[in-house]
Amino acid sequence: MKNPAEIQKLAITRLEEAEILCQAGKYDGAYYLAGYSIELTLKARICEKLEIDNLFDDSDKKDENINTVRTKFKTHDISQLLIFCGLFKKLQRDKALNKILMQTYADFIAPSNKDNKWSEQVRYHFAIGGQLKGVFVQDFIALLKDQQGLLEWIKNN
């Protein structure tokens, strides 16, 4: 991936794949990929804001400073990525005015039930398969796809 547009395109593809898995009853994989679309959207936004051409390529030995920065942004933590792109506090404010953001945040980013919180670790926790209920994952994907949803909000802020 060479630029933010390509990273954003991958985020859209991962969400589409999540929908396909969800329709096939593979809810655990769908949940992981849907959450990964948030991570990629945030990373695309970071690249835009910081004018980093390729967040995922640290093989360029000419500029070690950029490579050091790239390493810091390779986290999978949604809250940290929101901070890195300067949107964490804005999300705290905007979710009070947007019920779609509020529900996404409450149910999937910072839920009181930690088993529902999305992280890259869900790919291991649900490895047995069949742990998540379809309606839960369908709701997550619908919230992300909504025009008032988190993915559009990230792109527009």
> What's the whole-number average pLDDT of the chain?
83
pLDDT at position 124 is 55
pLDDT at position 41 is 96
Residue 70 predicted with pLDDT over 70: yes
Q: How far apart are the first and last CA of the chain?
A: 22
For the segment 54-78, the average pLDDT, to the nearest whole number, is 74
Residue 1 predicted with pLDDT over 80: no
CATH number 1.10.287 is the correct assignment for the domain at 4-156: no
Q: What confidence tier does 2 reach under pLDDT thresholds 50, 70, 90?
A: confident
DSSP letter at 4 equals H
Phi-psi label, residue 86: left if phi above 0, alpha if psi -120 to 50, beta otherwise:
left
Residue 127 predicted with pLDDT over 50: no
**Which stretches of 24-95 are DSSP H helices?**
27-50, 64-72, 78-84, 88-94
* Residue 48 and residue 5 in contact, taking contact as beta carbons nearer than 8 Å: no
For the segment 26-34, the average pLDDT, to the nearest whole number, is 89
